[in-house]
Structure 1
Amino acid sequence: MNGKGISVTLAMALMATLVAACGGGTNGKEVTGAPEPKAEEPAKPVNTGPREITMYTGGASLDEKGFNEQYGDAIRKKFPDVKLNFVPNAAGTKMADLIASNTTIDIVFDSIGYANTMKDFKIQVDLTPFISARKMDLNKFEPSAIEFQRKLGNGVLYSLPVWTASAGLFYNKDLFDKFGVPYPKDNMTWTEVFELAKRLTRNEGGVQYVGYVTSPGHQANTNQLGMKFVDAKTGKATLDSDDWAQYMKSIVQFYQISGMEWNATNSAIAAQRAMFEKDRVAAMYTNYSGGTPPEDMNWDVVSVPYYDKAPGVGPQSYPAYLSITNLSKNKELAYDIVSYLVSEEYQTLNTRAGRATVLNNPEIIKQYGQGLAKFKGKNVAAMFPAKRAAIGDYTPEETLVSAQFSTAYTDIVVKKKDLNTAMREANEAANKKIEELKQKK
């Protein structure tokens, strides 16, 4: 656990929700005395033209301050002779605006929610020749993040992952202590967590406590069963299938535990997160988008529970990617920078700052958030599943159906519709929107 012409606008709707649910992953006080990551060899100059690079973000969440903290400062330190520019995604600087004004964009940073941006504008560059020439080992990456890009590019690799969202079942230790319930453990099943939630959903002293809350949209989009929202053969929505009905049931059962009344307001994603982080009346919360609880909460985390039919399989990765555009006049230099940002050196720095690495490197993984005081003593390894479900398709059609899944969830938990009716009507609405999209193409 959340434009680009027709398909960009659709994808941005989901991304806005995902970004809204994401905060908190990198806030905290620095821990002093932490070991510095081992420096790698500086990139060698390979361009004869001006060493100037412009980076652009496809998402609206990254401003210049955030860019410098996450990328800019590290790049300028590594490449002191490069003039680095940043263009945010804002009014007047959307991708279409920049292309229309012949603005040079060298590198694009996009989350997976904007996976089709480069493709839609036909500005992608095949990174294979650069990767081959520099002998980059792609096996160092978490496999699904690379497999997704190969699938998106029909075998061609246009982007490299730079960080991903960690995921975990967070819990408020104070509430477990208050009610004498044992803490969750790693490798639990959803059935076991449901039993815990029942014991923690209660009214005490006039305060209504809730055992478990989540972001249903994130949970569905990164589902551990590898289910798709659209049938690849028919192009139709799949929400009316038994698999999606059972998946929905696995989520809404938590909201049907006796004691708590849900409505359109308190069932919203932001409201549920506030129950856990601000009001502290929710005992457990799954976060699929990289956020973590406030520093002043007595919290810890275990692995996202498994489904009985997929033991040991964690949620899908939700990576962000770096791409080089065909608008760039400095493609070699742009690749030097991209290569640095996916290197062990930068990945260690970034991971210590609370942004999960995309590398399959246990030594880097165990340093997740260790540059921040709030992570001290936490079970951070739980947020990195040993095995992940394959990443979904993230097509505009999938985004449309995903939105209808969220609508069905709300209709069910507020008791507006029963599960079968909600899923059937959501499927019908999704297919109608898919047809409307086809007509516009």
Structure 2
Amino acid sequence: MNSWVQLTGKIAAATALTAVVLTGCGGSGGKQEASGSGGATGGKKEPVELVFYQTGNADWNEEDFMSNYGNYIKQKFPHITPKFVPVPSTKSMEGLIAAGQQFDVFLFSIGHTHLNLIRNDFAYDMSELVKKKGVDLNRFDPFTIDQQREISGGGIYGLPLSNTSPVIMYNKDIFDKFGAPYPKDGMTWDQVYDLAKQVTRSDGGIQYYGLLASPEHVIKTNQFSAPFIDPKSFKPMFDDPKMMTFLENLKRFYMLVPPPGGKPLEGSFFSSTGQSKMFSKDKNLAMWVHFSNSAVNFPADLNWDYASLPYFKELGPVGPQAYPGYIYISKTSKHKDDAMDVLQALTSDEFQTIRSKMGIESALKNPDIKKVFAQDLPQYKGKSIASIFPQKYAAPAPLTDYNDLAWKRMNEAFGDIGRGKKDNVTAIRESSELLAKDITAERSKK
């Protein structure tokens, strides 16, 4: 999503204010400490240009990047000139790589890491650099480091820059209209299903829908930690019993939705963009399950709040898997030491506090940073902020170099399931067969 773009001016202003405060306090730099002070290294250094590339906000231009990251980097490290490479219109790095574009630092979500970092052979194990720079990995939520250990075979490719996970966002006006209780933290999926039935109604010529969830995002972060692909054999695992249970649960909410004109549901019922429009503009969706940062751009007249993601009775109060964003150093970079200084600054308590106040979740354990979450955003005032932080995240599912292929096929399969076009078994079997061919074709390129 590109929700950060709307915050750029405020982040830039907050960063500038921080710089003034530090200068006024006599901050002279010095080596960054393990606590995450964000200080620059002392002594004059030779000018360096670092090239940055990110995929989380595909429409970002250089101004967006500088407001969110670049200006802060320049304030901390005057000898570093950040250069931003925008995402091509093709949404692929292939053309940039073919043209010989050099990269130093990447910002990728865990979902984009294998496709862009590993498959393109940019992954760099920073373990020795972590030791050299005294990076304290214990500052980060453990699951974010565990995920790095898992994808790197025990090493570490990047530092956690942000985090998010699915949560319920609900429209209070719809619940008030039908006299139904609001969803609350600690509910089971069965309880939320019963609640969804109460607010799935037609009234005054308007069809109201109980609950829709972005399949792409909730299946990726499923609470069973069900894998998509066997990490050893690379065989599809869509038919894993845990995955089938998760899909059946999601399906029943779509079965509540009356097909418009008796026709299969449109694609908008399964896309983030379509669901966002139903929830925040059309205001005919009572509950929407998506990443918590989806709320950043809600209109001021939307009467909404958060509730934690429901849990499965058989699992107990286990939340979703986290979906961190990481910052990586390219294997091809000639300025790895400088790049690591930047990574430390962007993961410092100082910078993470600024971002937290702007509604961007931190992956740091520091409770003080979580306490100020969205503090500077008027639309979050009075909201149940605690609901977005699960008491316990589900363990990260195994990932492979081909999970992007799996997610595409799974989304197609659930589209057929949710529309009632195919039963679960048929849709999953056919998608698994297609995924197996996709993986074979991709592996043949190596």
TM-score (norm 1): 0.86
Structure 2 counterpart of 1:434: 439
Structure 2 counterpart of 1:279: 282
Contact 1:106 1:325 in 2 (8 A): yes
| Amino acid corresponding to residue 291 of structure 2 in structure 1 | Y
Contact 1:167 1:384 in 2 (8 A): no
Matches for 1:288-299 after TM superposition, within 5 Å: 288=291, 290-292=293-295, 293-299=298-304
The CA distance in 2 between the partners of 1:123 and 1:139, in whole Å, is: 25
Q: Deviations over 1:241-289 (max 9, x none)?
A: 3322221110010111264545133423122222111110110001126
Is residue 130 from structure 1 mapped to residue 129 from structure 2 by the alignment? yes
User: How far is 1:113 from its partner?
Assistant: 2.2
Structure 2 counterpart of 1:5: none
| Amino acid corresponding to residue 78 of structure 2 in structure 1 | P
Structure 2 counterpart of 1:383: 388
Q: Deviations over 1:155-185 (max 9, x none)?
A: 1112111112243100001111111111111
Structure 2 counterpart of 1:217: 216
Structure 1 counterpart of 2:30: none
Structure 2 counterpart of 1:70: 68
Q: Pick from 41, 54, 58: which aligns with 1:57? A: 54
Structure 2 counterpart of 1:263: 265
User: How far is 1:24 from its partner?
Assistant: 7.5
The CA distance in 1 between the partners of 2:412 and 2:397, in whole Å, is: 20
The CA distance in 2 between the partners of 1:97 and 1:284, in whole Å, is: 40
SS in 1 for 2:422: coil
Q: Deviations over 1:106-143 (max 9, x none)?
A: 21222222212333333333322232233222111111
Contact 1:209 1:282 in 2 (8 A): yes
Contact 1:200 1:211 in 2 (8 A): yes
How has the CA–CA distance of structure 1 residues 363 and 41 changed in structure 2, closer, same or farther, with 3 Å as cutoff?
A: closer
SS in 2 for 1:308: coil
- Structure 2, unaligned stretches of length 5 or more? 23-36
Contact 1:25 1:355 in 2 (8 A): no
* Same amino acid, percent of matched pairs: 35
What's the C-alpha RMSD, in Å, of the aligned pairs? 2.9
The CA distance in 2 between the partners of 1:282 and 1:159, in whole Å, is: 38
- Structure 1, unaligned stretches of length 5 or more? 1-18
Structure 1 counterpart of 2:402: 397
Q: Pick from 323, 326, 330: which aligns with 1:325? A: 330
Between Structure 1 and Structure 2, how many residues are aligned?
420
Contact 1:72 1:84 in 2 (8 A): yes
SS in 1 for 2:53: strand
Matches for 1:411-430 after TM superposition, within 5 Å: 411-430=416-435
- Name the stretch that deviates more: 96-105 or 131-140: 96-105
How has the CA–CA distance of structure 1 residues 320 and 61 changed in structure 2, closer, same or farther, with 3 Å as cutoff?
A: farther
Matches for 1:365-380 after TM superposition, within 5 Å: 365-380=370-385
User: How far is 1:424 from its partner?
Assistant: 2.3
Contact 2:151 2:399 in 1 (8 A): no
| Amino acid corresponding to residue 234 of structure 2 in structure 1 | G
Q: Deviations over 1:374-405 (max 9, x none)?
A: 11111112111122122334434332222222
Q: Deviations over 1:325-382 (max 9, x none)?
A: 2433332221111100001000001111121101112211121111111111111121
The CA distance in 2 between the partners of 1:119 and 1:279, in whole Å, is: 40
| Amino acid corresponding to residue 363 of structure 2 in structure 1 | V
Is residue 43 from structure 1 mapped to residue 19 from structure 2 by the alignment? no
How has the CA–CA distance of structure 1 residues 350 and 24 changed in structure 2, closer, same or farther, with 3 Å as cutoff?
A: closer
How has the CA–CA distance of structure 1 residues 415 and 347 changed in structure 2, closer, same or farther, with 3 Å as cutoff?
A: same
Contact 1:47 1:332 in 2 (8 A): no
SS in 2 for 1:183: coil
| Amino acid corresponding to residue 265 of structure 1 in structure 2 | G
| Amino acid corresponding to residue 308 of structure 2 in structure 1 | S
The CA distance in 1 between the partners of 2:350 and 2:324, in whole Å, is: 19
SS in 2 for 1:291: helix
How has the CA–CA distance of structure 1 residues 46 and 427 changed in structure 2, closer, same or farther, with 3 Å as cutoff?
A: farther
Q: Deviations over 1:77-107 (max 9, x none)?
A: 2223432221222259965555555544321
The CA distance in 2 between the partners of 1:160 and 1:343, in whole Å, is: 11
| Amino acid corresponding to residue 282 of structure 1 in structure 2 | L
Structure 1 counterpart of 2:164: 165
| Amino acid corresponding to residue 42 of structure 1 in structure 2 | G
How has the CA–CA distance of structure 1 residues 209 and 81 changed in structure 2, closer, same or farther, with 3 Å as cutoff?
A: same
The CA distance in 2 between the partners of 1:95 and 1:76, in whole Å, is: 26
Matches for 1:277-356 after TM superposition, within 5 Å: 277-288=280-291, 290-292=293-295, 293-356=298-361
How has the CA–CA distance of structure 1 residues 370 and 226 changed in structure 2, closer, same or farther, with 3 Å as cutoff?
A: same
User: How far is 1:436 from its partner?
Assistant: 2.9
The CA distance in 2 between the partners of 1:333 and 1:282, in whole Å, is: 48
